[in-house]
Amino acid sequence: MTSDVLTFVDGPIGRIGLNRPKAIHALTTPMCVAVLDALETWRGDDGVRAIIIDHAEGRGFCAGGDIRMLADSGAKDGVEAREFFHTEYRMNHRLFTYAKDTVAFMDGITMGGGVGISQPCRYRVATENAKFAMPETGIGLFPDVGGGWYLSRLPGRIGQYLALTGHRLDGAETFALGLASHYMPASQVEEAKARITADPTAIAETLAALSTEPGRAALIEHRAEIDRLFASDALEDVFAALEADGSDFAATTLATLRTKSPQTMKVSLRLLRDGKGMASFADEMRQEYAVGARVVQRHDFLEGVRAVIVDKDNAPKWDPATPEGVSDHVIDQIFAPLPDHEAWTPA
């Protein structure tokens, strides 16, 4: 166990509390190992009936992964970065296939790695504090941890919109899209945990009883525009559609996309296209690992981290700088399966 993750048994409940508040609980390899170990221990423990995943303190559930470590590793041999992805994806897959009920409380920032922990859970609770996003294209990455699976299964082309823009969903929008199974005020979260601990056989009933009407889901009002403007899996077509459209929404969206990595936007579109047809979540993780192992050592990721996290000038110089400059051949290379001895495998 690492102090960055608090794992303990509370009556019939296994508790996992992310506990790295200064980093908004961003995941490290030891944190993923701690979660995996706890899940494995509780899997065969008949006394543990369900699992609650939350964060110990601070303004977010989980802001992602240890990006600076990934960039430092990617600039060298990439070994540490691949170890992190391999372990994190095993944790994601273990949660996805876990037999016992799992409940994630997304009370605050839930991005990247936080999406990977929350989305496999049977119950996913959002509050008014939720800020749900996969903003990876802004640092030359792509929506991993199962993003190709989850986003490709959203209504229409909203998944493609979220993957490319990194748009932040509020709690109401997260619930409206089914990314949260329930919505409740943050003031009710502790009551929900207490009731689940008192009766783990009635989780659905408990969450339903404490849920409230989330209010307006603003993004859903743009559903028709998103479906039309993001209809193509070719990034050049998306840009052309946005440029030809006269709406404020299209202009704002185009301005956003022009700040993102063209290469990893193309990676993201390919990921969602492939992900929709994946036979299993393990297949998705295997592909994402191969892609991640390569992208983490490419120019755009190292440059994105420099611009956004290290120097904070927010002026990354992407290479190639335009969608047209990113060839199909490069994307095919990024997506090529790894040799069996290097490939991702479930725990």
| Separation between Cα atoms, residue 154 and residue 160, nearest integer Å | 9
Give one DSSP letter per residue of 50-114, joined into a string.
Answer: EEEEEESSSSEEE--B-HHHHHHHHTTT-HHHHHHHHHHHHHHHHHHT-SSEEEEEE-SEEETHH
**Catalytic one of 14, 113, 140, 166:** 113
**Catalytic one of 14, 60, 64, 65:** 65
**Catalytic one of 136, 170, 284, 303:** 136
CB 42 within 8 A of CB 98: no
Contacts of 208 (CB under 8 A, 6+ apart): 182
Catalytic status, residue 65: yes
Catalytic status, residue 340: no
| Backbone phi and psi for residue 112, each to the nearest 5 degrees, phi listed first | 50, -115
| Separation between Cα atoms, residue 347 and residue 343, nearest integer Å | 13
Catalytic status, residue 144: yes
| Backbone phi and psi for residue 289, each to the nearest 5 degrees, phi listed first | -65, -45
CB 142 within 8 A of CB 268: yes
Q: How many CB atoms lie within 10 A of CB 314?
A: 9
**Catalytic one of 66, 144, 173, 284:** 144
Catalytic status, residue 136: yes
**Local structure of residue 306 (DSSP, 8 states):** I
Residues forming the active site: 65, 113, 136, 144
